[in-house]
Amino acid sequence: MSGTGTAAVEVTGLTVDRGSVRALDDLSLTVPAGTVTVLLGPNGSGKSTLLLALLGLLRPAAGRVRLLGRPVRAALKSGRVATVGQSDGIDEGFPVTAREVVMQGRRPFLGAWRHPSSADRAAADAGLERVGLADLSRRRIGELSGGQRRRVLLARCLAQEADLLLLDEPFNGMDAGSEEVYVDVLRELAAQGRTALVSTHHLGTVERLADSVALLDGRLVAHGTVAETTTPEMLATLLGARHPTPSPTATAGVGR
């Protein structure tokens, strides 16, 4: 984990109710700047709820959230927080190109007249290039595949030059090559001192991606290194899953 000592995400005693369900109970979690933290947990374990609460989109019943050392509203206003939801939220009929979607990441930088500068255009093009979609930049977003759209949304985060990325299941529907590029990009960002909090069900990706893993099940079950958290026992108990590289000590088949 990073030795910078700065917390990019600081959650204390977070409790969130969704309807009559207590989706998160008294969760405290610190994500150091310059790291990638993965949220792992079964369906309904509160991963999306946590990310939505971090964005101020769900009102907590209790607890406190700080992003980049500031209260949520101030952090979001700064433009330094980028996010991609579990559903890509793209309206297929909306007549915008991939490049225009990426350009939305430049909003925090645009001046009063909202005209993109050459620096804005260069940042958008660099983002598309980095995710391998330069050739499709003029294509309408609705005419891209699901995995390509996910890469466009990552390019938008890159164009935004955000310090904190909150990503809900970004690898859904992605092929292995795209996923590899995506992981490489997140590792590069971490090396630059930026931070990502990423939910996923892709156990095979966690080792390459994560500095730390937070295991959720309506509460924080564990938070530690990949080795500490993705033990066969833990995964079998929490996810009913086998470890991707089965070990002789695996207790596979233990259901929840």
Ligand X SMILES: Nc1ncnc2c1ncn2[C@@H]1O[C@H](COP(=O)(O)OP(=O)(O)OP(=O)(O)O)[C@@H](O)[C@H]1O
Give the interface with ligand X as residue ranges (CB under 6 A).
18-19, 21, 23, 41, 43-49, 86
Q: In terms of CB distance, is 86 or 231 closer to Mg ion?
A: 86
Residue 101 beta carbon to ligand X: minimum distance, rounded to whole angstroms: 23
Q: In terms of CB distance, is 144 or 214 closer to ligand X?
A: 214
Q: In terms of CB distance, is 41 or 127 closer to ligand X?
A: 41
Rule CB under 5 A: is residue 200 a binding residue for Mg ion? no
Residue 237 beta carbon to ligand X: minimum distance, rounded to whole angstroms: 16
Under rule CB under 5 A, which residues in 82-111 are in contact with Mg ion? 86
Which of Mg ion, ligand X, none interacts with 60 (beta carbon under 5 to 8 A by kind)?
Answer: none
Which is nearest to 155 in space by CA: 100, 85, 86?
100
Name the helix (H) or strand (E) containing 206. helix 203-209
Which of ligand X, Mg ion, none interacts with 49 (beta carbon under 5 to 8 A by kind)?
Answer: ligand X
Q: In terms of CB distance, is 50 or 82 closer to Mg ion?
A: 50
The gap from C-alpha 135 to its chain's centroid, in whole angstroms, comes to: 25
DSSP per residue, 78-147: TT-EEEE-SS----TTS--BHHHHHHGGGGGG--TT----HHHHHHHHHHHHHTT-GGGTTSBGGGS-HH
Binding site for Mg ion (CB under 5 A): 47-48, 86
